[in-house]
């Protein structure tokens, strides 16, 4: 499965979406059918949290109405049905990303998945030092002199856990810088990733710049150096086809609330051979084989990393969201959103006093655009747009180092999804064009 197709390839392979189809899709999303400040809602904040179609809402409600019970813990009818639905959802998500069933772990969100990995790697060093666990753990343990490599564009969720891992182990954290257009300095990446690199963690698509990173090229550099490769797929899994095996990454994370599902659910993918030797992060019930008063033995993945009562209804709803996206066609969604992103960037670039972050119009990007309005704070821009019924994100978007690199403290971000039309984008652009005059900037 191709991960990012060219527009020409997509045009030949799949029928394009259009405004008429998007308006039909929009009818599946109850929250979008409302007025905000007397204006029809234009929701352009899906990069932060997407909305839920009725089928997802109904899937979670149906679980509570028909089969609410703890999973893996009972022989009664409801418990069996709940467990089957829960594990069917796992299989759906494994298929969605091209993974194997046992390689798909439930988390609360991508942030938890990345922290799980960070602490599991810390525990690998502790276990290896005590002669506990698989002999291969020694190769995963970090120590002074080792290096963790990230990029300058990372969301805090894919930066701070690695900062803390470096602190706990004595390893050094390094980063691949960006060019002024937001692209990664791949020439420097090749020099930074080397024999000391133990972990390479990077985002598939930037939540600020909209840039799509060269995953396979970065992965090859990481693996050639003997490093574990961790992919933040939060801004890619909801929007374009994702095949973790083809990308050849060792781990990947994403969150359900960015892909039509409820909050409180996410997925960690990991290669089975790595998951089965990594020490667990959370410990307790449901992830053990034998417990004595002195020690415990742990199940293999995925249960190895799923202690306690799980996010059952949310997992079922996430599977319903994945089915909705698959049925619509992720190739088609990606193409439509890419067109909306180009429309946003081209329009913003034509407004005096606007600086758009990331690739210029005509360059590949996902369907979002972050921008600075000269003389007007991002929070004021957001409130101005909200007064016109347009929802956007303001702030540093959990990417302070990136904003600092670009000489900014905050920006406004508009992010589209499969339920946005070209009219939504045009209303947004018309409103942005009036911001500086309104604030007399």
Tens digits of per-residue pLDDT, 182-222?
A: 999 999 999 999 999 999 999 999 999 999 999 999 999 99
Q: Are 417 and 321 in contact (CB under 8 A)?
A: no
pLDDT-derived band at 177 (thresholds 50, 70, 90) equals very high
- Comparing 72 with 163, which gets the higher pLDDT? 163
Mean pLDDT of the chain: 95
Q: Are strands 266-270 and 251-255 parallel, antiparallel or unpaired?
A: antiparallel
Q: Which residue spans within 204-272 are E strands per DSSP?
A: 228-232, 251-255, 266-270
Burial class (CB within 10 angstroms; exposed 0-12, middle 13-18, buried 19+) of 131: exposed
* Residue at a domain's end among 290, 307, 326: 326
Q: What is the pLDDT of residue 14?
A: 66
- Let me know if residue 1 belongs to a domain: no
Omega prior to 410 cis, within 30 of 0: no
User: 379: how many CB neighbours lie within 10 A of its CB?
Assistant: 12
- 95 & 161 share domain: yes
Question: Is pLDDT of 113 > 60?
Answer: yes
H-helix segments, 42-185: 54-66, 77-97, 110-129, 137-140, 160-169
Q: Give me the half-sphere count of Cα atoms (radius 13 Å) on the Cβ side of residue 277.
A: 15
Together in a domain, 180 and 297: yes
Phi, psi of 78, deg, nearest 5: -65, -40
**Listed residue (406, 413, 410, 407) closest to 395, CA to CA:** 410
Is residue 252 located within the same domain as residue 361? no
Out of 326, 350, 369, a domain closes at: 326
CATH no. for residue 273?
3.40.640.10
249 neighbors 229 (Cβ within 8 angstroms): yes
pLDDT at 70 over 80: yes
Contact 228, 259 (CB under 8 A): no
Per-residue pLDDT for 144 more than 80?
yes
As a whole number of angstroms, the distance between CA 256 and CA 238 comes to 8
Residue 173 pLDDT > 90, yes or no? Answer: yes
137: which residues sit within 8 A by CB, 6+ positions away?
Answer: 124, 127, 128, 277, 278, 279
* pLDDT above 70: residue 19: yes
| Structural domains counted in the chain | 2
Q: What is the Cβ-side half-sphere exposure of residue 176, based on CA atoms within 13 angstroms?
A: 29
pLDDT of residue 8: 42
Whether 282 and 396 map to the same domain: the answer is: no
Residue 2 lies in a domain: no
Cα distances from 226 to residues 99, 248, 409, in angstroms, run: 22, 13, 36
* Residue 341 included in any domain: yes
Same domain? For 111 and 202 the reply is: yes
Q: Count CB atoms within 10 A of the CB of residue 76.
A: 10
Burial 17-35 (b: 16+ CB within 10 A, else e): beeebbeebbebbeebeee
Query: CA-to-CA distance for 345 and 353, rounded, in angstroms?
Result: 14
Rounded mean pLDDT, 111-119:
98
Looking at the fold, whether 220 and 266 belong to one and the same domain comes out as yes
Q: Are 399 and 207 in contact (CB under 8 A)?
A: yes
Q: How far apart are CA 314 and CA 325, in angstroms?
A: 16
In the chain the first and final C-alpha atoms are separated, in Å, by 48
Bridge partners for 252 per DSSP: 231, 269
The reported pLDDT for the residue numbered 75 is 87
- Dihedral angle computed from the Cα positions of residues 55, 4, 369 and 42, in that order, rounded to the nearest 10 degrees: -20
234 is catalytic: no
What CATH number is given to the structural domain containing 365?
A: 3.90.1150.10
In a domain? residue 366: yes
Kindly state whether residue 130 falls inside one of the protein's structural domains: yes
The pLDDT-based confidence of 299 (bands split at 50, 70, 90) is: very high
What is the domain range of residue 238? 58-326
Q: Tell me the C-alpha distance between 114 and 102, whole Å.
A: 18
Residue 84 shares a structural domain with residue 221: yes
Same structural domain for residues 99 and 22?
A: no
Which CA distances in Å does 245 have to 106, 150, 216, 250?
A: 19, 21, 11, 9
Same domain, 249 and 352: no
| Residue 87, phi then psi, degrees to nearest 5 | -75, -30
Domain boundary among 265, 300, 326: 326
Say yes or no: 406 and 381 in one domain. Answer: yes
Average pLDDT over residues 283-302: 94
pLDDT tens digits for range 345-369: 999 999 999 999 999 999 999 999 9
Same domain, 246 and 354: no
SS3 assignment, position 24: helix
Catalytic residue among 173, 346, 398, 408: 398
Task: Tell me, yes or no, whether 320 and 356 share the same domain.
Answer: no
Residue 405 lies in a domain: yes
What pLDDT is attached to residue 10?
42
- Rounded percentage of the chain residues whose pLDDT exceeds 90: 93
What does the pLDDT read at residue 13? 56
Establish if 186 belongs to a structural domain: yes
In a domain, 85, yes or no: yes
- Confidence (pLDDT) at 375: 97
């Amino acid at each position: 499965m191709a991960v990012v197709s060219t527009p020409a390839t997509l045009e030949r392979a799949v029928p394009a979406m259009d405004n008429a189809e998007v308006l039909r899709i929009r009818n599946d999303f109850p929250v979008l059918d409302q007025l905000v400040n007397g204006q029809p809602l234009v929701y352009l904040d899906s990069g932060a949290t997407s909305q839920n179609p009725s089928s997802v809402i109904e899937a979670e409600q149906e679980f509570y109405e028909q089969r609410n019970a703890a999973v893996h813990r009972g022989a009664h009818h409801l418990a069996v049905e709940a467990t089957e639905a829960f594990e069917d959802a796992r299989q759906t998500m494994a298929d969605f990303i091209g993974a194997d069933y046992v390689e798909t772990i439930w988390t609360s969100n991508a942030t938890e998945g990345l922290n799980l990995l960070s602490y599991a790697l810390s525990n690998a060093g502790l276990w290896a030092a005590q002669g506990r666990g698989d002999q291969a753990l020694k190769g995963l343990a970090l120590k002074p002199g080792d290096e963790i490599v990230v990029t300058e564009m990372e969301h805090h969720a894919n930066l701070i856990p690695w900062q803390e891992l470096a602190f706990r182990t004595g390893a050094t954290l390094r980063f691949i810088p960006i060019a002024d257009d937001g692209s990664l300095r791949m020439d420097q990446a090749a020099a930074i990733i080397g024999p000391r690199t133990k972990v390479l963690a990077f985002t598939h698509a930037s939540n600020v710049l909209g840039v799509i990173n060269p995953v396979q090229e970065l992965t090859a550099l990481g693996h050639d150096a003997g490093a574990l490769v961790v992919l933040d797929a939060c801004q890619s899994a909801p929007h374009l086809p994702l095949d973790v095996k083809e990308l050849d990454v060792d781990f990947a994370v994403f969150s359900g609330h960015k892909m039509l599902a409820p909050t409180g659910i996410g997925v960690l993918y990991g290669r089975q051979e790595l998951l089965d030797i990594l020490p667990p992060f959370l410990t307790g019930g449901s992830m053990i084989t034998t417990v004595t008063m002195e020690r415990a033995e742990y199940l293999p993945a995925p249960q190895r990393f799923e202690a306690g009562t799980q996010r059952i209804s949310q997992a079922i709803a996430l599977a319903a969201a994945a089915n909705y996206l698959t049925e619509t066609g992720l190739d088609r969604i990606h193409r439509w959103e890419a067109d909306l992103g180009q429309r946003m960037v081209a329009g913003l670039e034509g407004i005096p006093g606007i600086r758009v972050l990331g690739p210029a119009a005509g360059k590949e990007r996902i369907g979002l655009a972050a921008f600075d309005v000269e003389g007007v704070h991002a929070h004021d821009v957001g409130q101005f747009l909200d007064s016109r019924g347009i929802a956007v994100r303001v702030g540093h978007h959990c990417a302070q180092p990136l904003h600092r690199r670009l000489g900014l403290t905050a920006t406004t971000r508009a992010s589209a999804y499969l339920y946005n039309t070209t009219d939504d984008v045009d209303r947004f652009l018309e409103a942005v064009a009036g911001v500086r005059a309104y604030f007399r900037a």
